Amino acid sequence: MVVGDIETGTEVAVVGAGPAGYVAAIRAGQLGLDVTLVEKDAWGGTCLNYGCIPSKALITAADLAHEAGDAEHMGIHADPAVDLSATVDWKDGVVDRLTGGVEKLCKANGVELVEGRAEFADDSRLRVVHGGDGQGAETLVFEHAVVATGSRPIEIPGFDFNDGPVLDSRQALALESVPDRLVVVGAGYIGMELSTAFAKLGSDVTVVEMLEDVLPGYEDDVARVVRERAREVGVDFRFGYTAAGWESTEDGIRVTADPAEEVAADGGTAVDADPDIDTDADAEPIALAADKTMVAVGRQPVTDTLNLEAAGVETDDRGFVETDHRTTTSVDGIHAVGDVAGEPMLAHAGSAEGQVAAEVIAGEPAALDHQAVPAAVFTDPEVGTVGLTAAEAREEGFEPAVGEFPFRSSGRALTTDEDGGFVRIVADEDTGFVLGGQVVGPEASELIAEVGLAVEMGATLEDLASTVHTHPTLSEAVMEAAEHAVGEAIHTLNR
């Protein structure tokens, strides 16, 4: 252990090679700093290996299979067979290309790559423990450190990820065959993305969700579009239930769930609020037969792997490292970025933070002063949001001007055979500044980029409306929504 323990110095030590950490490392390298990036598992972190990329690969494959088998109205007859292990191989190929790219980029920018688990010895030294036996450890003396250790899924009582039939999202993305029956616990964005994908691949999917709707945090009309479409592809919802446990049965497992307390007490109201949602008002525990169950109830920061206390870095009561808008923690010279530094736990937010951390370390006047961080959900249809909703704008003291354009009025949407959803633009009535947007519909994850640019640039409704958009494209919907907000829409009735 201590034998062969060597001490090396580095200007910047980055712990964790996810989208937050590797971006920080590359940027720091570009700025001429001497950088060491330590990763205990895989270059690219959760995002490239077990998160964004694998899930999107699986979703694409599922969409393709599903659409091909559901195109008779377009005169296409097919009955695609899915070989999931081949799909997973393909996905792994994509992941390998990307992670290989990260490694190459790091090296090309002079980043020293070290494999191992890093933990703080004090506020200027990290101990890097190498995996495997006899590999020993080394000490890294740093001037600046960037903590980018990411997050991991939350486990709930009764469901242990080590048990065969219980999966976290990472394991679900590595399945060799499509489970006949899948119970998904949690209807957040990861739960919904994978439920929809597995349903399209042929699983019988039941989603157990404590709350009364999918995608908490999103507006009702946005969530509704996603929920309805999920039902159409065969997802069954059990809202108002908390998963309690599981047991093996002769032909698989049985997942039990209890009525969620809030709903039991207030079930009537929930039903009244949206008669569409079938909360079981009689509130009896339920049992669901399945082959696998995937738990996706949220993610928690990884702060227990690196002995933060030794450096004196403080975390908040949810375990996130506390940082300011320059990504600095409570300890001078130690930064934290990405999921470990808190919401929004999104790859691009982490990357943006990583860049700022590197620039701050290099002495540049960088800061996280983004107006908004966009978010996308890759359900069917997709959701893309950025900035303020109308309600939030009002809360912030704006008089919101809101414009909408439904995809059923979009020529391009109809020709892609996807006409659900809408684009909504929220602006300040007085000045016309675009404050935010919500898109639910085809390619929403791409469409939101334009709205994000508008928010970030301080563009006005007029700017969006007066920009000529290509026809026929989905992006016209953004222009039309802006026109609608100023009462000048052509292809929809003005408000």
Ligand X SMILES: Cc1cc2nc3c(=O)[nH]c(=O)nc-3n(C[C@H](O)[C@H](O)[C@H](O)COP(=O)(O)OP(=O)(O)OC[C@H]3O[C@@H](n4cnc5c(N)ncnc54)[C@H](O)[C@@H]3O)c2cc1C
What is the set of active-site residues? 471
Q: Which two tokens stand for residue 199?
A: 């349903």
Helix residue spans in 71-203 (DSSP H) = 84-108, 169-172, 189-201
In the complex, minimum distance from the CB of residue 333 to other proteins, in angstroms, rounded to a whole number = 11
Are 230 and 379 contacting, i.e. CB atoms less than 8 angstroms apart?
yes
User: What is the enclosing helix (H) or strand (E) of 354?
Assistant: helix 347-361
* CB-nearer residue toward other proteins: 116 or 320: 320
Contacts for 378 with CB less than 8 Å, ≥ 6 apart: 55, 56, 59, 193, 445
Of 114 and 383, which CB lies nearer to other proteins in the complex structure?
383
369-388 residues in contact with ligand X (CB under 6 A) are 378
- Nearer CB in complex with other proteins: 82/366: 366
Q: How many residues appear in the chain?
A: 495
Cβ distance to ligand X smaller for residue 321 or 366: 321
Both tokens of 362, joined, read 């290099």
Residue 208 binds which of ligand X, other proteins, none (CB < 5-8 A, kind-dependent): other proteins
Strand partners, 122: 125
CB of 210 to other proteins, least distance (A): 5
3-state class of 464 per DSSP?
Answer: helix
User: What letter represents residue 64's amino acid?
Assistant: L
* Backbone angle region of 362, left / alpha / beta, with phi > 0 → left and psi within -120 to 50 → alpha: alpha
Please give the full DSSP string across 380-419, using - where no structure is assigned: SSEEEEEE--HHHHHHTT--EEEEEEEGGG-HHHHHTT--
Instruction: Name the binder of 428 from other proteins, ligand X, none, CB < 5-8 A by kind.
Output: other proteins
Q: How far is the CB of 251 from ligand X (least distance, A)?
A: 28
**Partner that binds at residue 110, options other proteins, ligand X, none, CB closer than 5 to 8 Å by kind:** none
Of the listed pieces 71-79, 147-155, 214-222, 458-466, which binds ligand X according to CB under 6 A? 147-155
d(CA 447, CA 481): 12
**Stretch of residues binding ligand X (CB under 6 A), selected from 48-56, 82-90, 93-101, 414-422:** 48-56
**Nearest distance, CB of residue 318 and other proteins, angstroms:** 4
151 binds ligand X (CB under 6 A): yes
Residues 286-325 that bind ligand X (CB under 6 A): 302, 305-306
In whole angstroms, the minimum distance from the beta carbon of 256 to ligand X comes to 25
Among residues 326, 327, 321, which one has the least CA distance to residue 341? 321
Distance CA 493, CA 107 (A): 55
Q: Give the residue, chosen from 17, 137, 311, 427, that forms a contact with ligand X under the rule CB under 6 A.
A: 17
- The least CB distance from residue 422 to ligand X, in Å, is 21
Among other proteins, ligand X, none, the one that 403 touches (CB under a kind-dependent 5 to 8 A) is none
Does residue 240 touch ligand X according to CB under 6 A? no
Nearest approach in angstroms of CB 290 to ligand X is 20
Q: Per the structure block, which two tokens stand in for 295?
A: 């738990």
* CB distance 310 to 331 below 8 Å: no
Q: Nearest distance from residue 327's CB to ligand X, in Å?
A: 12
- Helix H or strand E encompassing 48: helix 45-49
Contact status: 347 vs ligand X (CB under 6 A): yes
Mapped onto helix, strand or coil, the DSSP state of residue 68 is helix
Total residues at the site for ligand X (CB under 6 A)?
Answer: 40
The structure tokens listed for 218 are: 């999103």
d(CA 265, CA 91): 45
What does 398 bind: other proteins, ligand X, none (CB cut-off 5 to 8 Å by kind)?
A: other proteins
Could you say which of 88, 118, 297, 383 contacts ligand X (CB under 6 A)? 118
Q: Which does 374 bind (CB under 5 to 8 A by kind): other proteins, ligand X, none?
A: other proteins
Please choose, out of 19-27, 130-138, 204-212, 414-422, the segment that lies near ligand X by the rule CB under 6 A.
Answer: 19-27
CA neighbor of 339 nearest in space, from 152, 95, 185, 214: 152
* 421: partner contacted, choices ligand X, other proteins, none (Cβ within 5-8 A by kind): none
Output DSSP code: residue 122.
E
187 vs 271 by CB, closer to other proteins: 187
Under 8 Å between Cβ of 135 and 2: no
Residue selected from 145, 148, 215, 368 as contacting ligand X according to rule CB under 6 A: 148
Give the dihedral of Cα atoms 429, 435, 438, 439; nearest 10 deg: 100
Euclidean distance between CA atoms 353 and 321, whole angstroms: 13
Q: Which residue, 167 or 402, has its beta carbon nearer to ligand X?
A: 167
User: Which of other proteins, ligand X, none is residue 278 near (CB under 5 to 8 Å by kind)?
Assistant: none
Check: CB of residue 20 under 8 Å from CB of residue 339.
yes
Beta carbon nearer to other proteins, 137 or 341: 341
Cα–Cα distances (Å) from 131 to 178, 195, 271, 475, in that order, read: 33, 35, 53, 49
Query: Which residue, 184 or 485, is less far from ligand X as judged by CB?
Result: 184
Integer angstrom CA distances of residue 142 from 4, 8, 145, 333, 354: 19, 9, 6, 9, 17
Q: Choose the one of other proteins, ligand X, none that binds residue 422, judging by a C-beta under 5 to 8 angstroms depending on kind.
A: none
Site for ligand X in 53-92 (CB under 6 A): 55
Query: C-beta of 137: minimal distance to ligand X in Å?
Result: 12
The residues of the shown chain that bind ligand X, judged by CB under 6 A, are 15-21, 38-42, 45-47, 50-52, 55, 117-119, 148-151, 169, 190, 302, 305-306, 338-340, 345-348, 350, 378
